[in-house]
Amino acid sequence: MKYIIEVLLLSFSLLISSTKGTTPVCSDCVVYSTGKDGSLWGRENGDYCKLSSKCVDEAKTSRKTTTTKITKTKTTKTTKPATTSSTYVNGTLICNGCEVTATGGQESLWGWENEKSCLIDYEKCNIKAPEVDVEKNKKIAEANHKKNSSDYLVCNGCTITDIGEDGSYWGWEDNYSCQIDNILCNYNAKEATKTTTPPLRGSDGTLICNTCKYTSIDNSLVAWNTENGEKCRVLGSRCNFNSSPHPWCSGCTPTDYTSYGEPFGWENQNSCLINEVKCGIIKYEDGNDLQKVSAAASKAN
């Protein structure tokens, strides 16, 4: 049903494009949807665009059946075609096979099966999830931020994501940690005290990181780190980043969850990621939710 709606939206977009004249051509080969005639389409700058003939040729070439030589028996084995069953996760079609035909944002890999674009499953296909290039992120952040007398990067904004043991305020900008400028943000450093709070956990009990730093993104596009020897999930809604391919939901009604309890909704005929902070889903072990605690801290300043 979701696919039919997506096709209808694409058809409507094509109708509008035809009235304007020339259909825009995508700058890359990332497949977003398919037309009824089998054409491949992407989405750039908030609008649909048609993949170039070169992209289509590459996709067709990569879909050709391959043969694998088995050394033991000295015979050839033809790869079985993908099954026709469809599996959806958070509104995204998951490939049955492991043949990559395109790449997407957030290091995602995409395939093409049964005339549809689908997301490659890292775990099933035994593909190592991409590691975050910390040094690259550091260089980018250093180019956009000044350093203070303690040699820490100074945040350009005033959004607090963590409090140091010495009462200092910290933020997360350009995928890197930075220290809040108390004078710029009109914060009173003397009032900045480290509040002892119990661990913060998701609805499934997974530990939520205190920091916004992430060291890896798994095949479900969830960001992770490790704190005190325990694996923790980086909370995108607190750190102001969304590692999924879907937009933020405006509401708080979950219709699906990742295996780690990250909630998704369904709005405007599309999947969307629910803001766990705004919706009061993330709670401390003492029962207080993160939104109320954060609001109390803001009022104190």
pLDDT at residue 186 tops 70: yes
Of the ranges 32-41, 170-179, 214-223, the best mean pLDDT one:
170-179
Q: Encoding tokens for residue 14?
A: 């094509």
pLDDT single digits (tens) 91-106: 577 888 888 876 665 5
Q: Encoding tokens for residue 159?
A: 């959004």
CA neighbor of 166 nearest in space, from 185, 146, 183, 180: 180
What's residue 145's pLDDT? 92
pTM, two decimals, is: 0.38
162/210: higher pLDDT: 210
Give the Cα separation of 71 and 179 in Å (integer). 59
Give the Cα separation of 114 and 95 in Å (integer). 10
Domain ranges of the chain: 2-54+79-119, 134-191, 200-300
Percent of the chain with pLDDT over 90: 3
pLDDT single digits (tens) 47-67: 667 777 777 666 555 444 433
Rg of the chain over all Cα atoms, to the nearest angstrom: 23
Question: Any idea what DSSP says for residue 245?
Answer: S
What does the mean pLDDT of the chain come to?
Answer: 69
Q: Which residue has the tokens 């104190």?
A: 300
